[in-house]
């Protein structure tokens, strides 16, 4: 069994890791251990039995001054009860007090994976060995209780956590902070790895030592956002790709979030993750409940690569139920670069015909096809085709594209509205907007109030009407501004602290009503590029546009950071024209193609402006990508070097699960030292097996490829790309 309970000890056993808790003599649930797999039945000796001077002691401890909640490691910390570290919960009780002291009441263990009724979670596949633990902690005075949920995906070394608050009091309570997961480490000699950025530079990697006090990342933009990703790692200071302990935490939520790692005065570490408490206050009536999002946790004792492999496997196999997750994806080309808003059906058809010669499978019509949408100032919200541009609407255009043997895709941005639109003129109260204040605009857009059921109903019906009439094969779902002016005309003034979260509940309801009712459409998420790239979105979208920055050297950095948590098969990556519009950088076509093969592969360019040589290159690399797509999407991914290092090259690798083949890619960076011998050290192969390198004809053992490596040719220009195909020989 993955989960056991004996002598007041809960033990969760994954393939290579153990998680242990204990009910203390006074009923508090203590966190004992999370790390490499152990057989010990009780490791509570880890808790120091020392008096912490001037700390509080609960009344039930009597004369025992050792027992202090401010020093003991807790699984879900109390509030206003002598623990001064970051709390798991803050609430206002019916009597106006802020106290919550949750003590063990009951538990149950069962086969299968828990689910949440309002929020997306991972799921267990049929026949997969997954177990769930539910623990109820109750405050004996208020009768408010918290249900802690744990699921163990034993073979994948993944443990998930969530929490549900149950209001058993005699009236309404106001919840102001509620963490999905919290756990305490008795040590603090950790580094923290976070993934920060902004539009065009998402998921940059920052590693730094934990310091005393609260080390915090988060988003307060209404979405998980470009600036911080809801994924973080704490690890030993010497941990690298192959050795050392690492702990990953990924929140399955697409809105405001917080991740705290607090090092206290005793050099202990508390980690907490959940919905950001700023401007959050949820009213919970007597008998009602509130669900906190799921956190996906993983421990690796074999460095960061093993941690990434576990996250990749769980998101690839247990997040999205779309049939496209495990099927080959189309190579697409998008209309935005050639036309922006100015096009008609004939221009689109001509471009699609040229695109097919590049090897593209799908033509995607981007912005500008609906309403009075001739620029970004009008039309958003009016999801009816502009038949002056598109005679016969979307069905007629889709039919012509299909007749060419290509699939057809369409762009939407359902969550936004222009004030110059029929929708806004009919329903100005459907926007988030503070009374008596002028709104803050971004890209001439306002945010629709997705906390309103009538807005959700409208969007579900409007988008579904287009999809069901138009033979659409693919949807790019965009979201191009952050939320602010957060006030809903639908709710009373004292419930405005609920709107950020209710917006997300409305969004998930809309995605359920559109995506899950169209299983034959491939949906791709987008948010000004990669601004909403999180685990919850991956339950709906098998792929997410990684960044609006398609400059290959920039993408090497963005895709490097993204790879720590998210599988390669989820990264939208395309070849674009040069010089790049953002960076003005010129990069060889092969390098752009090899970088785009670090994801779903496609094109963001005007094919009519391409030379015959460039078109031939497109066709060549498209076929090369198709040849290796199964390996790229389903294999184990290795970061062979970091784009942040002062290195001559950035390199990465895909290795099949059975280790019979590998694809090694490298791009040169620093040409000032290219006379130096450069070797790419391959990883993940069988040491004693022989592998043939297709590009060089060499046959080398897995051990030689790892310890000696592949020699890169000397004196190559900056941003030269190399690709090596490795095949294991039958011996």
Name the residues annotated as catalytic. 534, 614
CA–CA separation, 188 and 263 (whole Å):
6
- Cis-peptide into 579, omega within 30 deg: yes
For residue 103, give the nearest of 140, 57, 149, 60 by alpha carbon: 140
Which residues, listed in sequence order, are joined to residue 385 by a DSSP beta bridge? 370
For 282, what's the count of Cα atoms within 13 Å in the CB-facing half-sphere?
Answer: 23
Whether 385 and 369 have beta carbons less than 8 Å apart is answered as yes
CA–CA separation, 525 and 540 (whole Å):
8
**DSSP states of 312-368:** HHHHHHHT---TTTTSPPPPEEESHHHHTT---HHHHHHHHHHHHHHT--EEEE-S-
**Residues whose CB falls within 8 Å of the CB of residue 299, separated by 6 or more in sequence, listed in order:** 16, 17, 34, 35, 36, 157, 245, 246, 247, 307
For residue 264, give the nearest of 75, 90, 70, 35 by alpha carbon: 70
Backbone φ/ψ region at 443: left (φ over 0), alpha (ψ -120 to 50), beta? left
What angle, rounded to 10 degrees, do the helices at 612-634 and 345-358 form? 70
Whether 461 and 217 have beta carbons less than 8 Å apart is answered as no
CA 444 from centroid of its chain's CA atoms: 28
Cα angle 607, 610, 612 (rounded to 5 degrees) comes to 115
CA–CA separation, 482 and 468 (whole Å):
30
């Amino acid at each position: 069994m993955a989960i056991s309970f004996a002598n007041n000890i809960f033990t969760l056993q994954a393939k290579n890791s153990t998680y242990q808790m204990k009910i203390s003599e006074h009923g508090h649930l203590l966190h004992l251990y999370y790390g490499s797999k152990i057989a010990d039945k009780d490791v509570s000796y880890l808790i120091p039995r020392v008096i912490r001077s001037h700390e509080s002691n609960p009344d039930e401890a009597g004369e025992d001054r050792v027992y202090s909640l401010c020093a003991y490691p807790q699984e879900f910390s109390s509030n206003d009860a002598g623990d001064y570290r970051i709390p798991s919960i803050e609430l206002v009780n019916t009597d106006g007090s802020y106290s919550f002291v949750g003590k063990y009441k009951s538990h149950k263990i069962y086969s299968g994976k828990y689910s949440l009724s309002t929020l997306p979670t991972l799921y267990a596949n049929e026949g997969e060995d997954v177990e769930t633990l539910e623990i109820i902690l109750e405050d004996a005075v208020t009768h408010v209780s918290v249900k802690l949920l744990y699921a163990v995906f034993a073979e994948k070394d993944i443990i998930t956590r969530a929490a549900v608050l149950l209001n058993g009091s005699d009236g309404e309570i106001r919840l102001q902070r509620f963490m999905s997961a919290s756990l305490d480490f008795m040590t603090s000699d950790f580094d923290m790895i976070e993934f920060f950025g902004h539009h065009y530079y998402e998921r940059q990697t920052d590693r730094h030592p934990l310091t005393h006090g609260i080390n915090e990342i988060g988003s307060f933009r209404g979405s998980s956002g470009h600036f911080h990703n809801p994924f973080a790692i704490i690890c030993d200071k010497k941990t690298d790709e192959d050795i050392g302990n690492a702990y990953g935490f990924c929140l399955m939520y697409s809105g405001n979030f917080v991740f705290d790692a607090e090092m206290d005065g005793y050099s202990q570490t508390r980690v907490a993750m959940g919905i950001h408490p700023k401007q959050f206050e949820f009213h919970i009536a007597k008998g009602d409940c509130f669900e906190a999002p799921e956190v996906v946790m993983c421990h690796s004792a074999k460095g960061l690569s093993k941690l990434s492999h576990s996250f990749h496997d769980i998101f690839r196999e247990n997040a999205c139920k779309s049939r496209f997750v495990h099927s080959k994806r189309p190579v697409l080309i998008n209309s935005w670069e050639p036309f922006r808003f100015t096009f008609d059906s004939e221009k689109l058809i001509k471009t699609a015909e040229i695109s097919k010669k590049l090897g593209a499978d799908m033509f995607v019509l981007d912005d500008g096809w609906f309403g009075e949408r001739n620029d970004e100032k009008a039309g958003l919200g009016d999801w009816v085709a502009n038949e002056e541009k598109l005679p016969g609407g979307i069905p007629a255009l889709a039919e012509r594209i299909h007749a060419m043997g290509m699939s057809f895709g369409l762009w939407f941005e359902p969550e936004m509205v222009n004030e110059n639109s029929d929708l806004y003129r009919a329903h100005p109260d459907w926007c988030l907007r503070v009374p008596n204040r002028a709104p803050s605009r971004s890209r001439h857009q306002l945010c629709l109030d997705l906390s309103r059921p009538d807005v959700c109903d409208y969007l579900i019906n409007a988008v579904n009407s287009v999809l069901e009439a138009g033979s659409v094969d693919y949807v790019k779902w965009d979201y191009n501004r952050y939320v602010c002016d957060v006030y809903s005309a639908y709710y009373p003034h004292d419930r405005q602290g609920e709107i950020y979260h209710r917006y997300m509940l409305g969004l998930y309801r809309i995605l359920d009503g559109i995506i899950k009712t169209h299983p034959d459409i491939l949906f791709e998420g987008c948010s000004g590029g990669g601004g909403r790239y999180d685990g919850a979105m991956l339950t709906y979208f098998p792929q997410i546009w990684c960044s609006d920055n398609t400059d290959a050297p920039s993408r090497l950095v963005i895709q490097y950071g993204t790879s720590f948590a998210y599988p390669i098969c989820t990264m939208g990556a395309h070849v674009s024209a040069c010089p790049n519009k953002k960076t003005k950088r010129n990069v060889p076509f092969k390098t752009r193609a090899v970088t785009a093969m670090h994801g779903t592969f496609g094109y963001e360019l005007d094919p009519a402006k391409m030379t015959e040589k460039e078109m031939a290159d497109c066709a060549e690399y498209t076929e090369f990508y198709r040849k290796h797509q199964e390996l790229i999407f389903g294999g184990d991914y290795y970061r062979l070097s970091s784009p942040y290092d002062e290195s001559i090259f950035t390199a990465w690798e895909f290795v099949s699960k059975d280790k019979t083949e590998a694809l090694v890619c490298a791009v040169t960076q620093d040409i000032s030292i290219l006379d130096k011998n450069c070797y790419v050290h391959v990883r993940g192969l069988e040491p004693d097996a022989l592998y043939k390198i297709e590009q060089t004809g060499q046959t080398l053992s897995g051990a030689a490829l790892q310890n000696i490596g592949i020699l890169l040719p000397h004196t190559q220009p900056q941003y030269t790309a190399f690709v090596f195909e490795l095949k294991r020989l039958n011996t």
